[in-house]
């Protein structure tokens, strides 16, 4: 057996482990059931990947996140490690072949969703595999009290029956004590080894700032700290608006949301990763698996939906150990907004039944059928067809996804079907005068044999690869061919795909998950209220508040959060006197607005406003007609 440190050096080029990693890896190699709670950036993946590489056989990895599965598999393959993923959209024949490869092909990792474990074929083949470890990633999903609970995660215990002698490692970055206990019980751990790293980050200052003008505060923070930053926002529209605002202010910026094409996501991500752009403005679709050590500032423009998601997102700052900032910007309307966004749009059981029936009708799924069929899905058209509120409907679909009734993949792509309506002779005559598209048309003819006889669904990306061009060029060429009466083109855009995991049984299907829906709605209320309590509490250190939520006790104040720094200032009466003199000095050089003064002095806005008020009362300064401040004698 190879030594773990040798594997670490060979594949990851590191010469030492992060805290707790080596102890966890040794426990897993020794066959112990192991629970791992490491904060974001703590290196959880290596805790199962290295033990799996050290031993003979294959490691089965269960994960709920398709994007993260694909990313991890790609990274392993890039390192020359044989890994595969069983995601949706795989035919029975492909599945059969892939599972055979896991048995006979020296694969080291098999990634799959918990839903795949329900398939009899998958279960039978797992029995035949030489499994050396079962890794449960995002293990909080198995607990009904965990963020993103997925009932299908309870199927994981099947693996203990299929491979009774194999140990299990469960990993998560966010779990309260109640969730930790639930995970250990659900996975039937025997004398588990439990590893918890403190979530305390001495270099990360948690700040909650009340701001009437959030845009101005963002600009001042990013101009003061010109290092890599992420701004989290609640919707796609805001990513574009804030990105545009920053670019106009001379701050390099890009954006990321679920509606971008894969090529756009990759391009914008690389610009930010390579520090060509200072700021990434993103929805919470951004950040999974991102390990950028030099992120200086994380700004939440809107309130996060839970302390769990906030802790993960904020934890992406300061991984290089240097001082970093996690900032929440709030104003008087934010509490109402977060309640409207997450609580007032929780779908009832009856509404979910209605959405599910309409979804089945929309795709013409017959009663008792539809299992593991995949359909391109235009969400806006669906809402319009049945007059559904888009927010309420979206939340209903998310619940159906989380409870494994459907799988909803949010991926924007073109849906294209083509029929050649011109004769063979006309087509080749046309190509003689349009040599620039000859390769594209010939690629189309070779790949789709029946394209003259009937409307044929085509893959524009594959044609682009075949013709050594790009997908937009393919789409543009098809539009030209349609205009010239060579083809009939059906071009539509879809923003998602829906896979039905269970056969259609209408209300019976939903009744099975009704108690889960109600429990999850209650949990969401608890989580939102916890966020509101966090932003309102200005007496207890922000770091202490966060760590207490996750069950850490006897935590000392951090000294650098917004509560601690304000307490220091309140306890130091000389600060205001020093600040008073600084303001007077600045105004000796000319009139200034309050914003100008704030931008030039390294102290809180509240303190500056206090000093300005005192100076006005004592007639040391006055306000001009243009709302600037000037020294009274000038």
Question: Same structural domain for residues 228 and 169?
Answer: no
Question: Same structural domain for residues 274 and 361?
Answer: no
Q: What is the pLDDT of residue 190?
A: 85
Q: Are the beta carbons of 123 and 149 closer than 8 angstroms?
A: no
Q: Indicate if the pLDDT at residue 539 is higher than 60.
A: yes
Question: Same structural domain for residues 157 and 44?
Answer: yes
The tally of domains found in the chain comes to 5
Give pLDDT tens digits for 258-286.
Answer: 778 778 888 999 999 999 999 999 998 78
Question: Same structural domain for residues 323 and 372?
Answer: no
Question: Same structural domain for residues 359 and 456?
Answer: no
Q: Indicate if the pLDDT at residue 202 is higher than 60.
A: yes
Give pLDDT tens digits for 412-442.
Answer: 556 788 899 998 889 989 998 998 898 999 8
Question: Same structural domain for residues 511 and 593?
Answer: no
pTM value? 0.73
Question: Same structural domain for residues 435 and 381?
Answer: no
The CATH code of the domain that includes 618 is 1.10.10.10
Q: Which range of residues forms the domain containing residue 56?
A: 4-196
Query: For the chain, what is the mean pLDDT?
Result: 89
Q: Does residue 566 belong to any structural domain of this protein?
A: no
The CATH code of the domain that includes 250 is 3.40.50.300
Give pLDDT tens digits for 93-144.
Answer: 889 999 999 999 999 999 998 888 888 899 999 999 999 999 999 999 898 8
Question: Same structural domain for residues 156 and 17?
Answer: yes
Question: Same structural domain for residues 110 and 12?
Answer: yes
Q: What is the pLDDT of residue 610?
A: 83
In degrees rounded to 5, what are phi and psi of residue 254?
-140, 180
Q: What is the pLDDT of residue 272?
A: 95
Q: Are the beta carbons of 599 and 631 closer than 8 angstroms?
A: no
Question: Same structural domain for residues 502 and 609?
Answer: no
First to last CA, the chain: 82
Angle (CA) 485-488-492 rounded to 5° is 130
Q: Indicate if the pLDDT at residue 569 is higher than 70.
A: no
Distances (CA, A) of 377 to 382, 468, 496: 8, 29, 5
Q: Indicate if the pLDDT at residue 566 is higher than 90.
A: no
| Range 481-500 average pLDDT | 84
CA–CA dist 396, 407 (Å, integer): 12
Distances (CA, A) of 281 to 207, 220, 225, 238, 253: 19, 16, 16, 8, 7
Q: Are the beta carbons of 296 and 325 closer than 8 angstroms?
A: yes
Q: Are the beta carbons of 288 and 67 closer than 8 angstroms?
A: yes
CA–CA dist 401, 500 (Å, integer): 9
Question: Same structural domain for residues 407 and 429?
Answer: no
Angle (CA) 328-333-338 rounded to 5° is 65
Q: Does residue 167 belong to any structural domain of this protein?
A: yes
Question: Same structural domain for residues 400 and 472?
Answer: no
543 versus 41: the higher-pLDDT residue is 543
Q: Indicate if the pLDDT at residue 410 is higher than 90.
A: no
């Amino acid at each position: 057996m190879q030594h773990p440190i040798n594997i670490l050096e060979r594949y990851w080029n590191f010469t030492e482990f992060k805290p707790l990693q080596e102890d966890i890896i040794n426990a897993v190699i020794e066959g112990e059931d192991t629970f791992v709670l490491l904060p974001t950036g703590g290196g959880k993946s290596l805790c199962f990947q290295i033990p799996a590489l050290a031993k003979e056989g294959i490691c089965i990895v269960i994960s709920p996140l398709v994007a993260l599965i694909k990313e991890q598999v790609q990274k392993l393959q890039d390192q020359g490690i044989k890994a595969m993923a069983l995601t949706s959209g795989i035919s029975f024949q492909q599945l059969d072949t892939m599972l055979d490869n896991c048995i006979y092909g020296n694969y080291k990792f098999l990634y799959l969703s918990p839903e795949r474990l329900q398939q009899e074929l998958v279960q039978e083949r797992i029995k035949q595999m030489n499994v050396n470890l079962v890794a449960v990633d995002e293990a909080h999903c198995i607990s009904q009290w965990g963020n993103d609970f997925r009932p299908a995660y309870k199927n994981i215990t099947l693996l203990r029956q299929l491979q009774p002698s194999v140990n299990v490692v469960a990993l998560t970055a966010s779990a309260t004590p109640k969730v930790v206990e639930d995970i250990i019980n659900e996975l039937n751990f025997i004398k588990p080894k439990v590893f918890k790293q403190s979530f305390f980050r001495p270099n990360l200052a948690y700040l909650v700032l009340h701001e009437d003008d959030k845009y101005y505060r963002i600009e001042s923070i990013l101009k003061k700290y010109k290092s890599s930053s992420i701004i989290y926002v609640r919707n796609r529209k805001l990513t574009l608006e804030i990105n545009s605002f920053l670019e106009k202010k001379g701050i390099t910026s890009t954006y990321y949301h679920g509606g971008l094409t894969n090529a756009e996501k990759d391009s914008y991500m690389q610009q930010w990763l390579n520090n060509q752009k200072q700021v990434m403005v993103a929805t919470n679709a951004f950040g999974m698996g991102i390990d950028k050590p030099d992120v200086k500032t994380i700004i939440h423009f809107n309130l996060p939906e839970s302390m769990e998601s906030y802790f993960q997102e904020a934890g992406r700052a300061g991984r290089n150990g240097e001082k970093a900032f996690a900032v929440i910007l709030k104003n008087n309307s934010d509490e109402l907004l977060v309640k409207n966004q997450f609580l007032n749009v929780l779908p009832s059981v009856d509404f979910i039944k209605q959405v599910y029936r309409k979804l089945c009708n929309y795709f013409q799924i017959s009663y008792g059928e539809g299992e593991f069929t995949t359909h391109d899905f235009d969400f806006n058209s669906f809402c319009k067809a049945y007059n559904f509120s888009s927010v309420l409907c979206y939340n209903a679909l998310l619940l159906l996804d989380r409870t494994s009734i459907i799988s909803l993949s949010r991926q924007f792509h073109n849906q294209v079907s083509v029929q050649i309506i011109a004769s063979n002779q006309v087509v080749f005559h046309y190509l003689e005068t349009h040599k620039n598209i000859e390769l594209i048309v010939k690629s189309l003819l070779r790949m789709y044999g029946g394209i003259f006889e009937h409307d044929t669904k085509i893959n524009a990306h594959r044609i682009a690869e075949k013709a050594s061009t790009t997908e937009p060029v393919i789409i543009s060429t098809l539009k030209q061919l349609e205009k010239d009466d060579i083809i009939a083109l059906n071009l539509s855009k879809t923003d998602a795909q829906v896979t039905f995991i269970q056969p259609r049984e209408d209300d019976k299907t939903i009744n099975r998950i009704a108690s889960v829906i109600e429990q999850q709605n209650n949990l969401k209320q608890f989580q939102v209220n916890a966020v509101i309590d966090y932003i309102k509490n200005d007496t207890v250190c922000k770091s202490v508040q966060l760590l207490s939520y996750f069950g850490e006790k006897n935590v000392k104040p951090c000294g650098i959060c917004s509560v601690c720094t304000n307490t220091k200032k309140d306890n130091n009466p000389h600060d205001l006197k020093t600040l008073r003199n600084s303001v007077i000095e600045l105004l000796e050089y000319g009139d200034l607005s309050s914003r100008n003064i704030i931008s030039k002095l390294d102290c809180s806005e509240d303190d500056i406003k206090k000093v300005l008020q005192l100076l006005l009362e004592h007639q040391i300064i006055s306000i001009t007609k243009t709302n600037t401040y000037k020294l009274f004698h000038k």
